[in-house]
């Protein structure tokens, strides 16, 4: 929740929307607490005092905090997941009961509120020098405790660099998808709010989220639950990521999330069919992960751990936004060629991209891709066995459309082939994208034989 609370410093209106979404998850957890409570008319003060441990236990795991743990013990456990001031010693009095008269920033009631002037709820942390007076929020006890309960539905990756949760105005569907996610064995039982390691290396937030969504769909299919979430168009996924005072958010709307479920579901089906046809002794990936990992694992390039997946993270960020960044993909492939990677072109390059464009109904983009990629593949086959590989770099370094055309004309003469440049002419305004797709097609033709583990199914 710390990530979400900080976000108001950047944009108060967007932050309020984020809190509203977060509050819905808290309401689900608060409802379960109230149902357990025999005295339904108990005051909010009593409810807070008796149940403030429960959202934390659900978040960090019951094995991490004893039933009689002090507030200080709880804060120590939460420091692994949130930015908690070293001076913080308690939660109840510092957060919920140090109140004054005012108007709640969420529900609008004029009542006893606690201000977030001297701390970021519910953990003490000075922000006076950063947040202007009119940007600071204040909450009534009921809204504040509801937000606090939202921690119970907050998921995090193993490094703690991202926080994400589902949201929906449809409480039934929100409960359903939260409950399914919780029960799919996606989380580390020793660290309840941390996502298990899936055997896929990730460093940055968007690529991590991409893997989590894939594994979510994979587990749904393994448990025969895929139809339970196929048509939940009113559930969206919210991501918060960052450090210090500035945080970025990313929202995957319900219809888009539904498409990713469809995309990964079809990919897993295709992978299983492909797996039947390959030499399994040479491929150390199970059938469900064949296409996903074959493509995803080969998007890394660089020396350091962080650098290796920086470009992949940018490429995947666009995928999460229903876009394919062919220019970044080409940059990745060219770097892999330069670094003499054994498989510079990601496995299943053609199959992955076409399935993505089919799923997200990108007809115009798909037509452009297939025509220009086809031309590139034809050129690449002609280059094989010649000493004209240097033209790949000439094309890559072309800084203007005229230079791009000149290189192609020269290459055409050297190869003594007639190139049909009409697909590129039609996309002249997006010539950089056309150049990237063409190059990727050329490289796919040149290096497909090196991908002999799975033969021609890679392109």
> How many independent structural domains does the chain possess?
3
Residue 191 shares a structural domain with residue 270: yes
Q: In terms of Cα–Cα distance, which of 50, 54, 72 is closest to 62? A: 54
The per-residue pLDDT for range 260-274, each reduced to its tens digit, is 999 999 999 999 999
In a domain, 384, yes or no: yes
pLDDT digits (tens, 9 = 90+) for 362-406: 999 999 999 999 999 999 999 999 999 999 999 999 999 999 999
Segment 101-125 mean pLDDT: 72
Let me know whether 352 and 303 are in one domain.
no
- Based on the fold, state whether residues 148 and 170 are members of the same structural domain: no
147 and 158 in a single domain? The answer is no
Mean pLDDT of 335-345: 93
- Answer whether residue 328 is part of any domain: no
Percent of the chain with pLDDT over 70: 85
In a domain, 352, yes or no: yes
Report pLDDT for 60: 80
One domain, residues 163 and 298: yes
pLDDT band per the 50, 70, 90 thresholds, residue 348? very high
User: What mean pLDDT is predicted for residues 17-42?
Assistant: 82
Cα separation of 244 and 79, whole Å?
14
- The distance of Cα 76 from the centroid of its chain, to the nearest Å, equals 28
Same domain, 11 and 123: yes
Q: Which of 126, 152, 178 is the last residue of a domain?
A: 152
* Backbone φ and ψ of 156, nearest 5°: -145, 155
Query: What are the tens digits of pLDDT across the range 426-448?
Result: 998 999 999 999 999 999 999 97
Structural domain range at position 440:
339-459
**What pLDDT shows up at residue 342?**
87
Position 8 scores a pLDDT of 42
Report yes or no on 448 lying in a domain.
yes
Same domain flag for 15 and 133:
yes
Residue 177 lies in a domain: yes
185 and 168 together in one domain: yes
Q: Are 216 and 253 in a shared domain?
A: yes
Nearest to 435 by CA among 402, 390, 386: 402
In a domain, 333, yes or no: no
Same domain (yes/no): 171, 316: yes
Q: Which domain-ending residue is among 136, 152, 168?
A: 152
Whether residue 309 sits in one domain with residue 162: yes
Looking at residue 170, its pLDDT comes to 93
Query: Which of the given ranges, 93-97, 126-130, 132-136, 233-237, has the highest pLDDT on average?
Result: 233-237
Residue 329 lies in a domain: no
72 falls within a domain: yes
Same-domain check for residues 285 and 363: no
- Which of 265, 290, 323 is the C-terminal boundary of a domain? 323
Closest to 254 in 3D by CA, of 185, 179, 168, 326: 168
- Mean pLDDT computed over 197-202: 85
């Amino acid at each position: 929740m710390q990530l979400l609370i900080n976000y108001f410093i950047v944009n108060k209106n967007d932050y309020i929307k984020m809190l509203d979404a977060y509050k819905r998850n808290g309401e689900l957890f608060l409802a379960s607490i109230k149902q357990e409570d025999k005295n339904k008319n108990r005051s909010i003060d009593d409810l807070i005092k008796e149940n403030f441990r429960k959202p934390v236990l659900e978040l960090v795991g019951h094995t991490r905090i004893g039933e009689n743990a002090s507030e200080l013990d709880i804060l120590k456990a939460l420091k692994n997941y949130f930015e908690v001031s070293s001076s913080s010693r308690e939660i109840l009095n510092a957060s919920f009961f140090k109140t004054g008269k005012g108007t709640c920033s969420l529900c609008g009631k004029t009542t006893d509120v606690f201000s977030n002037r001297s701390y970021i709820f519910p953990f003490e942390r000075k922000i006076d020098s950063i947040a202007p007076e009119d940007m600071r929020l204040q909450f009534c006890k009921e809204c504040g405790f509801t937000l606090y309960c939202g921690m119970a539905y907050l998921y995090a990756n193993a490094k703690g660099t991202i926080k994400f949760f589902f949201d929906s105005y449809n409480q039934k569907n929100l409960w359903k998808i939260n409950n399914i996610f919780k029960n799919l064995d996606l989380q580390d039982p020793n660290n309840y709010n941390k996502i298990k390691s899936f055997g896929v290396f990730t460093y940055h937030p968007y690529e991590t989220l991409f893997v989590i969504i894939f594994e979510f769909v994979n587990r749904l299919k393994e448990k025969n639950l895929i139809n339970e979430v196929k048509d939940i168009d009113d559930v969206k996924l919210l991501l918060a990521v960052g450090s210090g005072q500035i945080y970025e958010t990313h929202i995957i709307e319900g219809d888009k999330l539904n498409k990713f479920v469809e995309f990964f579901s079809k990919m897993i089906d295709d992978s299983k069919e492909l797996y039947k046809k390959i030499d399994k002794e040479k491929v150390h990936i199970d059938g469900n992960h064949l296409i996903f990992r074959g493509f995803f694992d080969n998007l890394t390039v660089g020396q350091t751990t962080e650098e290796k997946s920086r470009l992949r993270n940018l490429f995947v960020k666009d995928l999460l936004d229903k876009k394919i960044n062919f220019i970044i993909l080409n940059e990745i492939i060219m770097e892999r060629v330069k670094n003499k990677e054994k498989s510079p072109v990601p496995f299943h390059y053609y199959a992955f991209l076409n399935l993505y464009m089919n799923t997200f109904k990108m007809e115009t983009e798909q037509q452009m891709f297939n025509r220009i990629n086809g031309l590139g593949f034809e050129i690449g086959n002609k280059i094989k066995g010649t000493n004209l590989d240097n033209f790949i770099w000439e094309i890559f370094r072309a800084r203007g459309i005229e230079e791009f055309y000149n290189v192609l004309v020269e290459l055409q003469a050297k190869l003594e082939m007639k190139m049909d440049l009409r697909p590129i002419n039609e996309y002249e305004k997006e010539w950089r994208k056309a150049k990237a797709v063409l190059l990727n097609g050329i490289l796919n033709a040149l290096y497909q034989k090196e991908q002999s583990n799975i033969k021609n199914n890679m392109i």
